[in-house]
Chain A
Amino acid sequence: MVDEAEAIEARADAADERVYVASQWQLMWWRFRKHKPAMIAGVVMLGFYVIALLAPFFATTEPTLSEGDRSLMPPQRIHWFDGWKPSPHVFAVSGERDQVTFKRVYEVDRDQKIPVRFLGRGFEYKFLWLIPTDRHLLGAKGAKTEESIFLLGTDLQGRDVYSRLLFATRISMSIGLVGVSLSLVLGILLGGMSGFYGGYVDTVIQRAIEILRSIPTIPLWMGLAAALPQDWSVLRVYFAITLIISVLGWTELARVVRGRFLALREEDFVMAAMLSGASHTRTIFRHMVPSFYSHIIAVSTLAIPEMIISETALSFLGLGLQPPAVSYGVLLQAAQNIQAIALTPWLMIPAFPVIIVVLAFNFLGDGLRDAADPYSQ
């Protein structure tokens, strides 16, 4: 009995010991691990970024390849079994124009099976922008992939929605990251100045933030986005849009950073650093900023989904990215009215990744925010 009690005590001591010597990041990780929804969200997020990185590998067709003959094809299902034998295949589809309505009507030919092959050959691309290859996760045996497999159907121009969705992931996910980095720079710089120097500088920056926040964002974005010249290249428009979104997005970050600076300014260790002759820059970046890294990360994570939504909304209205760029918003433009939704519901599929991404980022951000301060109870 006595031995057992001692053993338990010893183990508790060991656990305590581990907590005492753990670094701040370790403590944060332990706390984050307990937040189940955030862990799941983190895994989902990773999945999305893997898709974004390897988009051409997962894609079956070039996203810009259009073909009038297969306009608005409904999604095809992969049939995994042929009787009891596992042999993944899709049925061949033939299209015909209805002589009365002039709509293309597609018929599934149940006799003609097109086998699906893994790691088959398709269009050429560079794996991770480095290695040229033509291997894809999915491909069709015999027929050309771009003529036979449309997992999520095709759009009006006959482009494969599934492949376009994968490439859209690339743009939509990166726009959040780029936008947040821009907002971070602005937010830390202006929020930091506001909180560190206080007084006159603080008043000016705070008033500017208040005014920016009281302006309705969506009309402002629309106006700014509508002002982009039509003849700009895709890349330039991409950066212009991220810039527009982050110009209005930095205020929240600046507010958080300012609050932290205000709280820390009076701390003894800051005073100590100043008295030891550290310059302002050194005091800020070496002594103050590290103590709220974690908060900044959490707040940025929560800001990313807002950026993604903003871009989606702008592109959805036709004011954001222009074709041939594809983002979730650009894809959703095809599903803008009741006719499209009623007749071709598969064009609405890009709404789901948006919702999943936004939810995942929110859960992840929540978990990070809880974990950011591991010393609190």
Chain B
Amino acid sequence: MLAYFIRRIFFAFGTLWVVSVIAFAIIQLPAGDYITSYITGLEALGDLVSEEEAETLREEYGLNRPIYVQYSKWMLQVVRGEFGLSMEYQLPVGDIIGERLLMTIIVALAAVFFVWVMALPIGIYSAVKQYSVGDYTFTFVGFLGLAVPNFLLALVLLYFSFRYFDANVAGLFSPEYFRAPWSIGRIIDLLKHLWIPAIVLGTAGTAALIRIMRANLLDELRKPYVVAARARGMSEWKLVLKYPVRVALNPFASTIGYILPYIVSGSIIVSVVLSLPTVGPLLLRSLLSQDMFLAGTIILLIGAMTVVGTLISDVILVLIDPRIRFSGR
């Protein structure tokens, strides 16, 4: 078992390393560098920048060094917990990302919470009352939830809340709390806004989980031990909840792994639509302005969250289900 964990952690680090290389490769891909787009911006304003000045700037940011030197310099910084300087904001990347990363995690966790709270009861209901009107309704809604891309869902939700409730549901804070320091009031305000992104991001995951839960529970309910327990007069609710549900719960653990990255990834586009203060809009902007350390760091951190999520789910899965073998994968 220990060997399994060690191998998993080792593999996670390997993946992280590949992600860091890919993240760096991506930010190197566009023709030119930040200085090119910076100069284009200045020239659009009427300033002229000479070749020497550009070279000095490149020297200052280390952009004229070979790529592998730039990469190792960046990696050395990352290992020490610094992520370089954002060229556009002239601030350390850590300072810019800080709160936004926290918001990204909060939004993702809220969505996962929503997924679990919705999918568990609905999944059980759909399995126990198979082919009932409720089951069909949930199946259909689930299909719709799976098919509709979440940023379109966000758009539609924005429209309806504006049209029929005259409320702007975008953002995570009301204006008066936007730049305020943390307080009880701000947390409550956050919770008031959080449900919209949670629903938007969680719908697809909920739909998927309901289907898995229903299928697993249906398999379990047909087993002889359930029939035997029923024959002995066990109450129906206790019968369902005590054993079959526990066995069918497996997917809930394994979904932490694949729902968390999915939600973090999805939150990027949804954040742009709902103007959430997460890392999504920042990534989009930094990619467009070739602010390489900012973009690279965000991709790296999202990759890290994905890898950690997968790791956590694998570990939990092993802990709750003794049937899973440790050898081989």
Contacts and interface: CB of A to CB of B under 8 A. Distances in A.
Interface stretch (B68-76, B90-98, B219-227, B262-270): B262-270
Contact of A226 (B149, B170, B288): B288
A164 to B, nearest CB: 18
Nearest to A308: B149
A222 B284 contact: yes
A220 B156 CA distance: 26
B147 interface: yes
Given A341-B158, A345-B159, A355 B15 contact: no
Contacts of A214: 15, 19, 261, 303, 306-307, 310
B241 interface: no
Nearest to B30: A227
Given A216-B264, A317-B272, A355 B302 contact: no
A354 B15 CA distance: 34
How many chain A residues sit at the interface, stated as a range, is 35 or more
A223 B151 contact: no
B147 A351 contact: no
A359 B143 contact: yes
Interface in B255-296: 261, 264-266, 268-269, 272-273, 275, 283-284, 287-288, 295
Contact of A220 (B15, B26, B269): B26
Contact of A222 (B148, B151, B268): B268
A342 B155 CA distance: 11
B30 A226 contact: yes
A313 B29 contact: no
B265 A216 contact: yes
Nearest to A306: B149
Interface string B295-309: 100110011011100
A362 B269 contact: no
Interface string B152-167: 1001101100110000
A338 B158 contact: yes
A215 B30 CA distance: 20
Contacts of A241: none
A351 B269 contact: no
Interface in A296-335: 305, 309, 312-313, 316-319, 332, 335
A219 B268 contact: yes
B159 A219 contact: no
Contact of A362 (B29, B146, B295, B305): B146
Interface string A208-245: 00110011111110111011010000000000000000
B18 interface: yes
Contact of B287 (A216, A222, A309, A338): A222
Contacts of A227: 26, 29-30
Given A226-B30, A227-B30, A341-B155, A336 B149 contact: no
B320 interface: no
B39 to A, nearest CB: 15
B273 A336 contact: yes
A355 B159 CA distance: 16
B144 interface: yes
A211 B22 CA distance: 11
A317 B149 CA distance: 14
Contacts of B261: 214, 216
Interface string A151-192: 000000000000000000000000000000000000000000
Contacts of B18: 211, 215
Contacts of A217: 265
Interface in A330-375: 332, 335-338, 341-342, 345, 348, 351, 354-355, 358-359, 362-363
Given A214-B261, A338-B170, A348 B155 contact: yes
A71 B15 CA distance: 50
Nearest to A208: B18
Contacts of B137: none
A318 B268 CA distance: 14
* Among B144, B158, B264: residue with most chain A CB under 10 A: B158
Contacts of B14: 211
Contacts of B105: none
A229 B31 contact: yes
Contacts of B284: 222, 317, 319
Interface of B: 14-15, 18-19, 22-23, 26-27, 29-31, 143-144, 146-149, 151-152, 155-156, 158-159, 162-163, 168, 170, 261, 264-266, 268-269, 272-273, 275, 283-284, 287-288, 295, 298-299, 302-303, 305-307, 310
8 contacts: A214-B303, A216-B264, A219-B303, A223-B295, A313-B149, A338-B162, A354-B149, A362-B147
Interface of A: 210-211, 214-220, 222-224, 226-227, 229, 305, 309, 312-313, 316-319, 332, 335-338, 341-342, 345, 348, 351, 354-355, 358-359, 362-363
Given A219-B298, A354-B152, 10 more contacts: A211-B14, A214-B261, A216-B261, A219-B283, A219-B302, A219-B303, A222-B268, A226-B30, A338-B158, A341-B155
Question: What 4 A-B pairs are tightest by C-beta distance, nearest first?
Answer: A227-B29, A223-B26, A226-B287, A216-B265
